[in-house]
């Protein structure tokens, strides 16, 4: 129970940027700032891979439409990462608390990922790219700030994460009509391309 606030916060943050969570926790543990970070997250190879993938996400996340493709690819990766990080934080090698922590972290990561993906779809309906860049920067800063804050004040950080998660869900619900219009337009464009490709492959009559 004592690690549950950190588990919840790390799960929320993993749903937004799992690589940043692994990188930050690993660096904080390596620097000796906290003893709560498991050794598996402090390994040099883990930190290097997390750093490279974090840089890749930092770029992809700021490009319109590329960010939505990136989110689609990470629909499985982020919840799994959130569950693994949560289980490692709980420790106890396969015990019930570790499994429960993994479930909490994975579920929270999935919810925050869906909020992020839905918000990005709505933002991508805007023709200008600035909103993607601003939103991505806010997400990166928010994840960094709340993960570091959670190490020192886990309960308060978990409360903030819960509030942000609920707020995000409400925003996605309110923007859902805009998201559905975007999805309909995208399906229509795909159908037009398919028909155009099929027409190009038909030989002229006579």
Contact 81, 14 (CB under 8 A): yes
Q: What is the mean pLDDT of the chain?
A: 86
Closest CA to 54 of 21, 30, 84: 21
* Rg for the chain, CA atoms, rounded: 20
**The dihedral sign for the CA sequence 70, 137, 33, 35:** negative
Checking if the pLDDT of 199 tops 70, the result is no
Which three-class secondary structure state does DSSP give residue 62?
coil
Checking if the pLDDT of 204 tops 60, the result is no
Query: What pLDDT, on a 0 to 100 scale, did the predictor assign at position 67?
Result: 87
Confidence label for 45 from pLDDT (cuts 50, 70 and 90):
very high
Mean per-residue pLDDT, 35-46: 90
Tell me the pLDDT tens digit for each residue of 142-178: 999 999 999 999 999 999 999 999 999 998 888 877 7
pTM of the model: 0.81
Tell me the pLDDT tens digit for each residue of 75-115: 999 999 999 998 888 875 555 677 788 888 899 999 999 99
């Amino acid at each position: 129970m004592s690690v549950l606030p950190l588990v919840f916060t790390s799960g929320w943050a993993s749903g937004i940027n799992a690589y940043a969570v692994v990188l930050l926790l690993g660096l904080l543990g390596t620097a000796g700032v906290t003893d709560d970070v498991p050794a598996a997250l402090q390994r040099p190879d883990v930190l290097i891979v997390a750093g490279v993938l974090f840089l890749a996400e930092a770029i992809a996340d700021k490009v319109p439409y590329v960010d939505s493709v990136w989110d689609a690819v990470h629909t499985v990766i982020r919840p799994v990462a959130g569950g693994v990080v949560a289980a490692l934080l709980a420790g106890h090698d396969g015990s019930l608390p570790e499994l429960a922590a993994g479930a909490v972290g994975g579920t929270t990561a999935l919810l925050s990922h869906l909020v992020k993906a839905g918000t990005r779809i709505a933002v991508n309906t805007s023709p200008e790219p600035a909103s993607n860049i601003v939103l991505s920067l806010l997400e990166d800063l928010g994840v960094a700030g709340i993960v570091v804050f959670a190490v020192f004040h886990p309960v308060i950080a978990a409360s903030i994460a819960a509030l942000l998660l609920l707020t995000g869900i409400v925003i996605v619900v309110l923007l859902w009509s805009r998201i559905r219009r975007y999805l309909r337009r995208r399906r229509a464009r795909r159908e037009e391309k398919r028909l155009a490709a099929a027409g190009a492959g038909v030989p002229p009559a006579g």
